[in-house]
A = this chain, B = another copy of it.
Amino acid sequence: MTDSSLKNDVFLRALLREPVPYTPIWMMRQAGRYLPEYRETRAQAGSFLALAQNPELACEVTLQPLRRFPLDAAILFSDILTIPHAMGLGLDFVAGEGPQFASPLRSEEAVAALAVPDMALLQYVFDAVSVIRRELDGQVPLIGFAGSPWTLACYMVEGQGTQDYRQIKSMLYRRPDLLHRILDINARATIQYLNEQVRAGAQALMIFDSWGGVLAHHHFQAFSLDYTGRVVSGLMREHEGRRIPVIVFTKGGMPWLEAIAACGADAIGLDWTTSLSEARRRTGDRVALQGNLDPMALFGDEASIRREARHVLDDFGAPQGGGHVFNLGHGISRFTPPEAVEILVDEVHSHSRRASA
């Protein structure tokens, strides 16, 4: 089921709940600003967007963390907002302010004009996947990714990051029909986008529902999970004779864990507020779990980093049967000392090997 040409397929095996010799680890945003070499390449590219749009440089930053740390997976360097950018919303990354859209969706006309973009506009992403896959040369599997339809819609309607989600929730409460149209288009675009990533060489897929957790309890299913589930069911799950595992990560998704686990994904990402043992119980071990160290634990001293890592591992339990991929509960902070990551990876590998012995 897994790929014999891969030198390290522990990550894929863990996702498929097959036996593993240790718990694999990768980190959300592992190719990022906490690495001096990343900051150098980004300066060379001129901007975040120029970096993401240059397949060679995107490949370079994707590989940087793997040169430092024995991580068990690579993840495409890109951004979830490439799709709305291709839809013509005009993405820009403003220094210190994060992503902004020049033309957020605020009118019935703007929503009516929205359409699934031509995937040719996203060729730079698929090219980056191909280049990275080639350069990885089977060292570890490559993860492709996209945002969930709801999370994309948050950015598309708000136009930027938000504390209160007032614009999109005003639309949800006043004009749910407009929001459903956006979500439908996002879902269809995301299916095409992720399947193209698989064709270009992605060996696993991750869907980031970063803002699903801000919805009222009774709205999560209709406005977030239903569309994530539609994406999952539209994905190619086999390619080149291999299973392509899909991970769904909903930050703050704890209230809906059972439902998320039933959406068709192979694995569920968890943030640090959830206990892995409780999540195993609630999901009945029907999916693999990915997570869930508090990213701020990397600001501890060596002893506490090792202790917190062991806590996560032990909370899940022995790794032999697979089913656990170690990760942070959210993206790594730009202020993280790289040495902390070295300690973390070492502890995850060595402690889980001991637990498997």
Contact = CB atoms under 8 A, between A and B. Distances in A.
Interface of A: 164-166, 169-170, 172-174, 213-218, 220, 252, 254-255, 272-275, 293-297, 299-301, 304-305, 308, 311, 315, 329, 333, 335
A299 B170 contact: yes
B170 A216 contact: no
Contact of A294 (B216, B274, B296): B216
Number of copies: 2
Most buried by B among A172, A213, A215, A299: A299
Contact of A216 (B169, B214, B273): B273
Contact of A255 (B275, B295, B315): B275
A218 B274 contact: no
Most buried by B among A215, A272, A275, A296: A296
Nearest to A335: B166
A164 B275 contact: no
A297 B170 CA distance: 7
The 8 residue pairs across chains A and B that have the minimum distance between CB atoms: A173-B300, A169-B296, A170-B299, A216-B294, A216-B272, A217-B275, A173-B304, A255-B273
B335 A296 contact: no
